[in-house]
Structure 1
Amino acid sequence: MSNELLWLVLMVANFTSILIFYRYFGKTGLFIWTALATIIANIQVLKTVELFGFVATLGNIVYGTTFLVTDILSENYGKKEARKAVLVGFLSLITMTIMMQIALLFKPDASDFSQDALVTIFSFMPRIVIASLAAYWLSQLHDIWAFHLWKKRLPQTKYLWIRNNLSTMISQFIDSFVFCFIAFWGVYELNIFWSILWTTYFFKWIVAAADTPFLYVAKFLYDKGKINELVKNEA
């Protein structure tokens, strides 16, 4: 199976997973997904692949889904709940980094076969996490702010796609720019670096556009009372 087809399959799998988490666990499920997505994305981003003739990093899809999550929360629950999801992702990354750095300090047994692989992945993780935290915090807060800005100007449900895309696509640029400069400047040759930056944004832009139908599905499920909230809102 080609990388391009796998990429499309992975994108659909991510969006479908979000709807499943949301349908059966409500906004709690979206918080859980945010924690999973931020951790998975920061591991996948270490792998570079060729997609549609360009060099790109993995992790773009699963990380891009965190913007769909905050847009769902913003639309259905408000700005406060969306910001909670950002904080969940932020703390999840910090926690993972601390735990894995401590794990690397343990002296492996002679029977161990994973230490070298773990060092390869997680010894680079602090720089990735610093880059991700800065990019994630700035871009997500902008996304929430911009979404509600457009919601005030275009409150009707039929304009949901405009609110989603205008807020997310600009936020994705902020994210890609900040992340790549902190994480990869000086790591790759300049031609590879610029290719990663622009293709990262391009693929995130595609993800942002592709998530729109799933946002409408989430809105439909919420409006029809089909969401199983684990924690009921107090009246």
Structure 2
Amino acid sequence: MFENVTKARAYAYLAGVFWAFMIISNILATRTLEIEFIVLPCSILTFPVLFIVNDILSEIYGYNMTKDIIYLGFIINTFAIVLYHIAMLFPSNSPNADAFAMLLSTTPRLFVAGLISYMLGNLLNSKVLVVLKEKYSDGLFVRCILSTVIGETVDSIIFISISFIGVLPSDVVLTMICCQIVFKSLYEILAYPVTRKVIFRLRTLDDGELKGQI
């Protein structure tokens, strides 16, 4: 499967991973996990992977090609949510119908929060990394971590603020934002050795069909 991989084929693989984790994260976000006084959506376990893949794409393929994947992810996400709700409109004799609706339904507020935070957070992450690469060709660790911290901070602030301000006390909302930023940043730091290894491996591949585009 991974024999004779080119940068063009690797781009397709990374796009698939990005979109898969995006959908998984949306489903996991319907459940929360509690650690002491901290309450976080279960998507905290998978959503940071989007930013890690974003870093890899931005480092190897640049902003424009990464932006295409982010935009298509936005379309896929919107399409999936619309189809979930269309499916719920039809009567069903399935014993799991109520569980299906409970798991995959979302309020307009959460829907808007998720789409806006996804777009702005990921686009900013990619742009910052590419700008840092142009100015500082060395320092992969710094640009991967810094771009992710900035992107995930914007994502967390937008999503939690739109979703929970006026619903939860202000101190709880602030705690959720801070905890998400810290957890996602630590996630990125711990995963950096893998990120670095993938980036270095991709640099050695032939461009394939991407020749002249990156």
TM-score normalized with structure 1 length: 0.79
Partner of 2:181: 201
Does residue 218 (structure 1) correspond to residue 198 (structure 2)? The answer is yes
Question: Which whole-Å deviations, capped at 9, do the CAs of 1:29-78 have from their partners, x for residues lacking one?
Answer: 11111211111111111211123652222112321111111211111111
Q: CA deviation at 1:178?
A: 0.1
Alpha-carbon contact 1:56-1:195 (below 8 Å) kept: no
C-alpha distance in structure 1 between counterparts of 2:61 and 2:174, whole Å: 38
Following superposition, the deviation at residue 179 of structure 1 comes to: 0.4
Give, in angstroms, the shift of residue 204 of structure 1.
1.1
From the superposition, tell whether residues 53 and 43 of structure 1 become closer, same or farther in structure 2 (CA, over 3 Å): same
8 A contact 1:70–1:144 mirrored in 2: yes
Q: Please say if 1:97 is aligned against 2:81.
A: yes
- Pick the aligned partner of 2:127 from 136, 145, 154: 145
Aligned length: 208
Range with greater deviation from structure 2 (122-131 or 86-95): 122-131
SS, match of residue 107 in structure 1:
coil
Deviations 1:104-125 (A, max 9, x none): 001012xx11111122222325
d(CA) in 2 for partners of 1:40 and 1:184?
22
CA RMSD of aligned residues (A): 2.5
Aligned to 2:151: 171
Gaps of 5+ in 2: 1-5
Q: What is the DSSP-based 3-state SS (H/G/I as helix, E as strand, rest coil) of the residue aligned with 1:59? A: helix
Which residue type is aligned with residue 74 of structure 1?
S
Aligned pair in 2 of structure 1 residues 208, 198: CA closer, same or farther (>3 Å)? same
Unaligned stretches of 5+ in structure 1? 1-21
Is 1:36 aligned with 2:20?
Answer: yes
Distance 1:128 1:37, change over 3 A: farther
Counterpart for residue 68 of structure 1: 52
% of aligned pairs identical? 25
Q: Give the equivalent residue in structure 2 for 1:6.
A: none
Pick from 42, 48, 61: which aligns with 1:77? 61
Q: More deviation in 175-184 or 23-32?
A: 23-32
Structure 1 runs of 4+ off > 6 angstroms? Answer: none
Q: Is the 8 A contact 2:7 2:210 kept in 1?
A: no
Q: CA deviation at 1:101?
A: 0.6
Partners of 1:127 and 1:187 lie apart in 2 by 11
1:46 alignment partner, SS class: coil
Between the aligned partners of 1:24 and 1:40, the Cα distance in structure 2 is: 25
Match in the other structure for 1:117: 99
**Deviation of 1:151 (Å):** 0.7
Output the CA distance in 1 between the equivalents of 2:44 and 2:72.
Answer: 19
